[in-house]
Amino acid sequence: MSTRRNFLLAPALATLLSGCDKLGLGESAKPAYKGVDLSGASYASTLNLPDIDGKPRSLGDFKGKIVVVFFGYTQCPDVCPTTMAELAQVKKALGADGERVQGLFVTIDPERDTAELLRAYLASFDPSFVALRGSAEQLKEAAREFKVYYAKVPGKTEDSYTMDHTAASFVFDAQGRVRLFERYGAGAQALMDDIKLLLAEKA
């Protein structure tokens, strides 16, 4: 084959190889996450709140683990218990790898969610889950950082109010970087598939 013919084939070969990358056959292929990919997002980078024992906590405390952060409240009738139950299901189904998954529950109702109530609530799902309970101002700051919405909805009595809130979880990789936004309703299998992809990543 002549040098000229090799020269003419080079662009076509380069295009073919480029196409392989786009088809997911090269190194540039991205994982097919079920949740919304937040890799590189400029928000949800920090979380500094006390736990139910008053100990200051941050994402750095859980480095080396896949961390799932959820903003909710114990008297939530549907979204919150379903989300925590699914996370517990995923953690259990992962077997030994489940030890590398950490659930963080941030209460948006510190007025009613006492330390005792939060402890019992999370223990009913998985005793390893950690509850974070800050002041109204600390909560507002955390919600602003995560772009999370929450608001009190008045009930028939002063104490029977409910809370509207963002129905989704934020998933962080083992390096403490926000990676995924998992919408409520996607199911435990979708969450497990995404967590498996993050667990398989190299640092």
Show Cβ contacts of residue 195 under 8 Å, excluding neighbours closer than 6 positions. 66, 68, 90, 94, 101, 171
Cα–Cα dist 33/16, whole Å: 26
The C-alpha atoms of residue 159 and residue 172 are separated, in whole angstroms, by 34
Is the domain of 168 the same as that of 156? yes
Per-residue model confidence (pLDDT) at position 202:
80
pLDDT at 28: 54
Regions of the chain with pLDDT less than 70: 1-29, 203
pLDDT of residue 203: 62
Give me the pLDDT at residue 22, please: 44
> Is residue 12 domain-shared with residue 98, that is, in the same domain?
no
**pLDDT on residue 17:** 42
**Whether 84 and 5 share a structural domain:** no
Domain carrying residue 92: 31-199
Instruction: Look at residue 30 in the predicted model and tell me its pLDDT.
Output: 76
Return the CATH number at 138.
3.40.30.10
| Residue 158: strand, helix, or coil | coil
Question: Does residue 68 contact residue 83 with C-beta atoms inside 8 Å?
Answer: no
